Amino acid sequence: MKVAARHRASIEHTTPTSAQPAAGHATGSTARATRGSACGARGALMALAAFGALSLACSAHADELTGTLKKIHDDGVVVLGVREASIPFSYFDGQGTVGYSQTIALQIVDEIKKTLGMPQLKVHEITVTSSNRTPMLLNNQIDLECGSTTHTVERESVAAFSNSFFQYAVRMIARKSSGITDFQDLAGKTVVTTAGTSDERLLRRLNTDKHLNMRITSARDHLEAFGAVKDDRAVAFVMDEPIVYGFKSTDSRPDDFVVTGTPLGYEVYACMFRKGDEPFRNLVNGVIARGQTSGEAERLYRQWFTQPIPPHGINLNFPLSEQNRALFAHPNDRALD
């Protein structure tokens, strides 16, 4: 599968040059000139010594780095896995990647820059899907993925997860005209979900446990899955509630669709990174926890879920739930399954 890549230009900072000192009097005595030359020489030596000490300090700091931070430092770039259509978490708005999760990812990038002392660190974005995000992480193709990835106990065997930044229910979107109101209405029908997601596992378990005889198809990504419902190739798309609300709200005919169904379960989103990397885990979790306990996370939530969002100014009208309010008050990295 060809993976699209997009580069976000690094923000460049121009440091103003220091003002030049005023020229001295041309008629100064030889003694003053000699003292001035000596002071200048000592100043140059002190500056050189300071530069050497700084270089040694930076070298020592670099030698202490491990894991993802060392990789980023040595490569001079941090690589983010981003999503194409996980509205409003991580999606392409026609100009770049934006969203609730993407904002958190960029806050983490800012902290990485501070920690490494690399304000000009480059950021490279690679579009990932639910199927390839984990292999790309394990193959060192991406360093961090903050999109719409569910933290599950099963996934902990291959990847590490940050503090949770969103809790949600698993539901479905269907055409209003279909008459579907709950999951038992899907018996014997074609239903779509996205390949490689925890929702796919939940849906297949439901099908087996309740003997619903659904024909389950797994789409490559969320956009393709919703397209199957729009084209009447499937009666419902089972997915995370905020994702299906996003598709309903941004569709040209939103009133044609309904988000429905008793929740199959509750799960959480988190950023994903490589296992066994405590320094990086601490950095990422520190950023998320500070945002949640300071009120920044709630402000960010309002921006992406209760106000008009790019590119078309649609408002999802998805108020902060009590579950998410509790999560923000008590940051943690626990899976809910």
| Mean pLDDT per 10-residue segment, the chain (337 residues) | 40 30 37 42 49 45 89 98 96 97 99 98 97 98 98 97 98 98 98 96 97 98 97 98 94 96 96 98 99 98 97 93 97 95
Q: What pLDDT score does 337 carry?
A: 85
Q: Are 113 and 82 in contact (CB under 8 A)?
A: no
Predicted model pTM: 0.78
How many whole angstroms from its chain centre is CA 54? 34
Q: Are 87 and 245 in contact (CB under 8 A)?
A: no
Q: What pLDDT score does 12 carry?
A: 28
For residue 276, give Cα distances in angstroms to 44, 67, 94, 283, 296: 46, 8, 36, 14, 29
For residue 298, give Cα distances in angstroms to 100, 106, 111, 201, 267: 11, 17, 20, 31, 19
Residue 129: is it exposed, middle or buried by C-beta count within 10 angstroms (0-12/13-18/19+)? buried
**pLDDT digits over 180-208, tens only?**
999 999 999 999 999 999 999 999 999 99
* Residue 58: Cβ within 10 Å count: 12
Report how far residue 217's alpha carbon sits from residue 234's, in angstroms, rounded to the nearest whole number.
8
For the 169-266 domain, the top CATH level (class) is alpha beta
CA angle 191, 261, 155 (to 5 degrees): 70
| DSSP state letters, 137-204 | HHTTS-SEE-SS-B--TGGGGT-EEEEEEEEEEEEEEEEGGG---SGGGGTTSEEEEETTSHHHHHHH
Which amino acid, residue 281? R
Q: What pLDDT score does 237 carry?
A: 99
Sheet holding 85-86, edge to edge: 85-86, 90-92, 97-98
The rounded radius of gyration (Å) of the Cα atoms in the chain is 26
Domains 64-166+267-329 and 169-266 share a fold: yes
For the 64-166+267-329 domain, the top CATH level (class) is alpha beta
Residue 256, φ and ψ in degrees, nearest 5? -80, -10
Domain definitions of the chain by residue range? 64-166+267-329, 169-266
Report how far residue 192's alpha carbon sits from residue 236's, in angstroms, rounded to the nearest whole number.
6
Q: What pLDDT score does 23 carry?
A: 34
β-bridge pairing 236-240 and 160-175 = antiparallel
**pLDDT digits over 210-236, tens only?**
999 999 999 999 999 999 999 999 999
